[in-house]
């Protein structure tokens, strides 16, 4: 099985940061207050220096956890184009194994978000008949392959389309 482009780690990292944009500041301030209250036993309110120290410490902790999670996501994401199907596996705690026979492929799109463009990467979205409503609760595509180099994404897209056409024409 093949791996994603190494820059995909950074794409995952920024995605995880974006998901936490509202919770991290709240936890920084709440956690800094709670932790400093434990260390400041005299009942006086925090000094600004203590508060900033704890807030930065909590922020660094989140950044490190997000980076480790991004590295693990990259490490455990694999894909393969076999003779009969596109296969992928991903997941750190819960593994997900995907197998999409070529005859079920309806459309293959390449998506490049702003972070992916900055890193020179692309996402492939593989859509199949009926999956949008039944499989993903109305959103997304059945197969997603993020973090590919631009040229590699174009190559895989062409190969998937060629194989899907071949199976539908009886080749």
- Please say whether the dihedral angle defined by the alpha carbons of residues 55, 56, 57 and 63, taken in this order, is positive or negative: positive
State which of 55, 74, 93 marks the end of a domain: 74
Beta carbons of 123 and 148 less than 8 angstroms apart: yes
99 and 67: one domain?
no
Model pLDDT, residue 54: 75
Beta carbons of 65 and 57 less than 8 angstroms apart: no
Model pLDDT, residue 132: 55
For 50, the 3-state DSSP assignment is helix
20 and 69: one domain?
yes
Total domains in the fold of the chain:
2
State which of 59, 74, 89 marks the end of a domain: 74
Model pLDDT, residue 19: 86
Instruction: Show the domain range for 143.
Output: 81-168
State which of 74, 100, 133 marks the end of a domain: 74
Model pLDDT, residue 137: 45
Within the chain, which residues score under 70 in pLDDT?
31-46, 130-140, 167-171
Question: Which pairs with CB-CB distance under 8 Å and at least 24 residues apart come from 80-83?
Answer: 80/1, 80/2, 81/156, 81/159, 81/160, 81/163
Model pLDDT, residue 36: 62
The span from the CA of 148 to the CA of 154, in Å, is 9
Model pLDDT, residue 131: 61
């Amino acid at each position: 099985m093949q791996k994603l482009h190494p820059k995909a780690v950074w794409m995952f990292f920024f995605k995880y940061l974006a998901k936490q944009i509202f919770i991290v500041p709240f936890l920084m301030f709440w956690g800094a207050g709670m932790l400093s209250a434990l260390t400041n036993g005299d009942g006086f309110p925090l000094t600004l220096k203590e508060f900033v120290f704890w807030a930065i410490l909590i922020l660094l902790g989140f950044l490190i956890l997000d980076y480790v999670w991004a590295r693990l996501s990259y490490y455990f994401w694999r894909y393969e184009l076999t003779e009969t199907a596109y296969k992928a596996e991903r997941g750190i705690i819960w593994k997900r194994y995907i197998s999409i026979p070529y005859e079920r492929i309806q459309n293959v799109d390449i998506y490049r978000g702003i972070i992916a463009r900055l890193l020179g990467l692309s996402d492939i979205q593989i859509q199949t008949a009926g999956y949008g409503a039944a499989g993903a609760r109305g959103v997304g595509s059945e197969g997603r392959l993020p973090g590919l180099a631009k040229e590699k994404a174009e190559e895989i897209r062409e190969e998937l389309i060629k194989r899907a056409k071949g199976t539908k024409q009886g080749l």
